[in-house]
């Protein structure tokens, strides 16, 4: 299934993601990593810390809904793979990011932006791994 190349929307959306990361560091002194935020929500830590993470998640969910209210169009969020692949993928992602210490937002954006060598390595590894997985699935296994 093809998707349309959206250079300007992607640049603008990316800039907003970067802005959110900078604001979280400027105001709260924290890395905007969704793995870390979710992982912290699942542990019972200090309540002030927990409520901060919860507020971030509620905001994240609200953002696309505001866009929907403003434009009347909700972007597609449908994965072009069967439910079993989504379930297995979710489990594998959860384990991987726990050990890898972060995902696209934490390592890929925040980590690289502060020139963390760990994050540069992690990002290179997961990008290569994702390219290889998609190639294997789509071009050697004939899709899922």
Partner 1 sequence: MRLITALGIGVIFGLGIAISGMINPAKVLNFFDIAGTWDPSLALVMLGALAVAIPGYRLVLGRPAPALEDRFHLPQTRVIDRRLVLGSAVFGIGWGIAGFCPGGAVPALGTGEPGVYLFTASLVGGLLLAQGIQRWTGSPARTPT
Number of residues that bind partner 1 (CB under 8 A): 118
Is 141 a binding residue for partner 1 by CB under 8 A? The answer is: no
In whole angstroms, the minimum distance from the beta carbon of 144 to partner 1 comes to 7
Closest CA to 108 of 99, 120, 118, 93: 120
Buried b (16+ CB within 10 A) or exposed e, 21-53: beebeeeeebbbbbbbbebbeeeeeeeeeeebb
- Shortest distance in whole angstroms from residue 73 CB to partner 1: 10
Of 61 and 72, the one with the shorter C-beta distance to partner 1 is 61
Which of 24, 32, 13, 10 lies closest to 111, judged by CA?
A: 32
Closer residue to partner 1, CB minimum distance, 72 or 76: 76
Footprint (CB under 8 A) of partner 1, residues 93-132? 93-114, 116-119, 121-123, 125-132
- Of the candidates 44, 50, 72, 137, which one interacts with partner 1 according to CB under 8 A? 137
Which residue, 4 or 72, has its beta carbon nearer to partner 1? Answer: 4
Closest CA to 55 of 95, 88, 28: 28
If the CB atoms of residues 35 and 72 are measured against partner 1, the closer one turns out to be 35
**Other CB atoms within 10 A of residue 108 CB:** 19
> Residues 26 to 85: which contact partner 1 by CB under 8 A?
26-36, 38-40, 42-43, 48, 51-52, 55-67, 74-81, 83, 85
**Cβ-contact 40, 49 below 8 angstroms:** yes
């Amino acid at each position: 299934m093809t998707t349309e190349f959206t250079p300007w929307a992607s640049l603008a959306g990316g800039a907003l993601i970067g802005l959110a990361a900078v604001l979280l560091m400027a105001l709260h002194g924290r890395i905007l990593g969704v793995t870390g935020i979710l992982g912290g929500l699942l542990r019972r830590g200090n309540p002030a810390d927990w409520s901060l993470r919860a507020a971030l998640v509620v905001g994240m969910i609200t953002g696309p809904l505001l866009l929907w209210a403003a434009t009347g169009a909700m972007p597609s969020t449908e994965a072009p793979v069967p439910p079993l692949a989504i379930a297995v993928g979710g489990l594998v992602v959860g384990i991987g990011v726990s050990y890898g210490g972060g995902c696209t937002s934490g390592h890929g954006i925040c980590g690289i932006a502060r020139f963390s060598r760990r994050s540069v390595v992690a990002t290179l590894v997961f990008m290569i791994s994702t390219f290889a997985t998609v190639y294997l699935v789509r071009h050697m296994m004939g899709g899922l």
